Each structure stands twice: as C-alpha cells, then as structure tokens.
Amino acid sequence: MTRFIPRFVTPTFGRFDALIITILIGLFLFNMGMLWRGNQVGVRLITSHPQPYATSVSTLSHISLTFDQPISPTVESPLSLTPAVSGTTMWDGGRLTFTPHQPLQPDTHYQAKLDPTLTSQSGRPYTDLTTWQFRTRQPKIIYLVPHETEPTQLHLLDPHTRQSQPLTSEPHGVFDYALSPDGGMIAYSTWNRAEERNLWLIDLETHERQALFPCLDGICSGVSWAKDGRRLIYERRDFITGSDRLSAPRLWWFDLTNQQTWSLFEDESQLGYGATISPDGLWLSYMAGNEQSIAIQNLQTGDTRLIPNGTGARPVWNPDSQSLTITDIQADHDGFGVHLFKAELGNEQLIDLSTGQIQVEDSSPAWSPDGQQLAFTRKLAGVSMGKQVWLLDLNSGKPYSLTDELDIHFSVPTWSPDGMQLIFQQFSLKQMGSLPSIWRMDVVSGEINQLAPVGSQPSWLP
C-alpha cells in the first residue's frame, strides 16, 4: 500500500502580487493613521455671529456659534461678554445661541470669551478660537424716499451726520419693509413689471439681497417677523382670474430655513391682514376681515379672542406683551371721535386711553421702550387741521401736545432705543403735492430738527 505524504509548496509571488500586498498594507496603515488623527483633532468653530472684529453690530443682536460637531452642554456658562451681559444660553446639537436679556449698549466695544473646556459629545476637546471682539453701532434710521418721477427706495440715515445712503435700487420701487428682531435683516416688498409685488430680503451687514419667493399672480406685503427670526407672516392678495382686480387679503407664513409657505388658516378663504407678533413671540394679532374684528391668537394653543373694531387700523403691542393698543370709533350724543384703547390679554374690558373730550381723532400709537409713555397723533374730529404729536405719561395719566403747527400734518412717531427721542414724518397742508420729510424731536427739551428733506415710514435701526 502506497502511503501519501503531503508536500508543502512554498508560494511564489510575482511582481504584481507584491504590488497588491504593498497597496493593501499602505491602505491599512493610512486608515489607522486617520483614525488616530481623528481622535486627536478637536472641535472646530465653523461660523460665528457677529463675526470676529465686526464693527457695526446691532444692539438687538444675539450671539450664535456653529461648531463642526455636536457639543456636550455640560458647561453652565460657556460664553461670556465684557462688559458683562446677562442672557439665556441654548444648545441645539452643534449650535450655541446666547440671547441677551436686554439690548446691548450702542457704540460699545465687546469682548466675547468661550470656555476652552468645551468638548464634543464624543469627548473631543475644543481647540479653536476662544476670544474675539466686536463693536455695536450707533442707532441709525431706515426710511423710504418717495420721488415724483423715480421709484421709491429704502435708505439708511445716520442721524448724527445726517448722511443718507440707498439700500435698494429696485427698478419698480419698494412698497413697504420690516426689520428683523435681531436688527440684521430687512424684509421688503417691491413691484415688478407684471404689477405683482414680491418679497425680498437684504442683509444689513453685507448689503446682499435675495428673493424670498415670487408672489406670482398677486401681491405680497405687510411682513411681520416671528421672534426667532426664522419665520415671518405676510399678506397675500391674488389677481382675480380674467381681470386686473385683486382678491381680499389673506395671511400666510413663510419659513426662511426651508423656504416653505403656508396659510395661517386651515380655511384659506378666511380673510386677514395687518398681522403683528407680540415682542415675546407668543401672541399674534391681526384684522379678521370676515368678522370685522381684531383677532388675538395664542400661537401655542391656537385660542383666539375677537374684539369688534370699526377702523381697520393695525393694533400695537405694549413692550411687555401683556396688552395691545387699538383704535376704534367712540360716539355719544354730542358727536363721535376715534379713540385709543388698551386691550389687556386677561381683561375683556377695554380701557379708553383718549381721556378728555370725545371729539378727537387719535392714531399712530407708539409705546416707549419701557412701556411708560405713549406717543400718538391727534386732531379735533371734523376740523380741517393737521394731526399733531401728543404724549401720554402713564404715571400722570394726562396727555399733552408736543407739537402745535396746525398747517403741518404729523404721523408715524417712533421711539429711539433709549426712549429719549422721537422721529416722525410730516408734510405741509398748505403746499399742494408736498412730499413728506423726516424729523427728530428730543422728548425732554422739545427741540426738533429735520433729518431728511424727503422721506416716509421712518424706523430706528438699533
């Protein structure tokens, strides 16, 4: 019987086999090296707002930082500012947002410091920028410049130098605008050749503009921002098929993060306009066209209260978000007037703020930043005269006039961020076709001076 004895044959490798083995070993070593390096590379900062060394930061700005990895929120106060600023810190994965409890100081140099002990959720240390600086700007003024032959444009005015610069150059002009809650952007509506009105956005730091969306076969305007600055609500009116007439206004939401838009109401036939969101972001007021009322809606629960109203004027929120000021018709056996009323969220009874005589026409209410003074415009009902600027001090409860020029019509008073000045527009009743101009008043001294010879709809840019 033949016994089989196995033979071990030593494998032979050609040059190609050696090359393949070398490549595989190289890949293995490369992957191991990358794995080791990945464990050593720390967390990096991708973006920051405001940007380091920015010199024109809004006093309404929040501080936001975006990292390349989700962060472990174990540090109680990861971000601090000098001069000291109290605020609320929120984490969202790899994004940190610090919201000051009060506006920053104007024209102030701030130093931001980030805690260097931050780590990612996987335990990697933070190895990027830990200190940087930025400077807030002096308050400026945004306004529209109407022209007899040229399209209306948005302008930015420095009230100290009275130098003005255009923010837009829209070929068919700007209709209205709204400043974002952090003072960094403006949403505005503009006409196009098809007589449609589209919504645009302009960044006040870079002056770059972008289209929010085309309002095809209609006009979109009347923007109001949500507190988070990520959503806004606007009015839309569509052209009626086969005609150049427009439908009644309806309210729509727009989300800047995903570019989606949707109706405020489940029933899209429901009418609404003049939307305003409360400063705390929890309430929405608007004119409910179907009911001829002011609607106050809780944005968390959807509960809605209706207040009958005959003027259709947009209500104004008090800075504490606990009440809003509305205008409505007031009548008795001697005549009628238009009064200002305070509508408190927890009180069905309206409080008449237009104390004194019945026959006055009050409008354009504007609360001071501390909510203690109310500026508004007033004229005697049925009398040919311009509306004057008045002030109501809540401590005394007595209104008094700030202007007394019956041939001048004043409107849209707006408070400065420090509550010391008012700006408003005015025009002469004696001059036919007179264009409005922008003026400023020191509330304490009563001193008044012109800021822009032509301008309308002024508002402060903190």
Phi-psi region of 290 (alpha: psi -120 to 50; beta: other; left: phi over 0): alpha
CA dist., res. 277 & res. 253, Å (int): 12
Tokens of 213: 């969306």
Say if 277 falls within a structural domain: no
Contact criterion met (CB below 8 Å) for 57 and 103: no
Q: CATH number of the domain at 364, please.
A: 2.130.10.120
What is the C-alpha separation between 41 and 126, in angstroms, rounded? 9
Which residues on adjacent β-strands are paired with residue 211? Answer: 200
CATH of the domain at 86: 2.60.40.3710
| Chunked mean pLDDT (size 10), the chain, 462 residues | 50 59 60 48 87 91 92 86 94 92 94 92 90 94 90 95 94 94 94 76 90 85 93 92 84 94 88 95 92 92 92 93 94 83 91 85 95 95 89 90 94 95 95 92 94 96 95
| 100 and 152 belong to one structural domain | no
pLDDT digits (tens, 9 = 90+) for 192-236: 766 667 899 999 988 899 988 878 888 899 999 999 899 999 999
State if pTM tops 0.85: no
The size of the chain, in residues, is: 462
Q: Is the same domain home to 442 and 363? A: yes
**Are 128 and 147 contained in the same domain?**
no
State the burial class of residue 444 (Cβ atoms within 10 Å of its Cβ: 0-12, 13-18, 19+). exposed
Q: Which residues partner with 288 through β-bridges?
A: 293
* Residues 80 and 146 reside in one and the same domain: no
Q: 363 and 462 share a domain?
A: yes
Encode pLDDT of 335-391 as tens digits: 789 999 999 998 888 999 997 777 899 999 999 999 999 999 999 887 888 999 999
The answer to the question of residue 252 being in a domain is no
Number of domains present in the structure of the chain: 2
Helix (H) or strand (E) holding 298: strand 293-298
Q: Same structural domain for residues 159 and 79?
A: no
Are residue 368 and residue 382 in the same domain, yes or no? yes
143 in the same domain as 93: no
Examine the fold and report which residue of 95, 120, 135 is the final residue of a domain before the chain moves on: 135
How does strand 408-415 pair with strand 421-428?
antiparallel
User: Are 365 and 462 in the same domain?
Assistant: yes
Whether residue 396 is found in the same domain as residue 385: yes
Give the integer Cα–Cα distance in Å for 91 and 119. Answer: 13
* CA dihedral of residues 369, 371, 373, 376 (deg, nearest 10): 80
* In-domain check, residue 431: yes
Domain with 118, as residue range(s), is 45-135
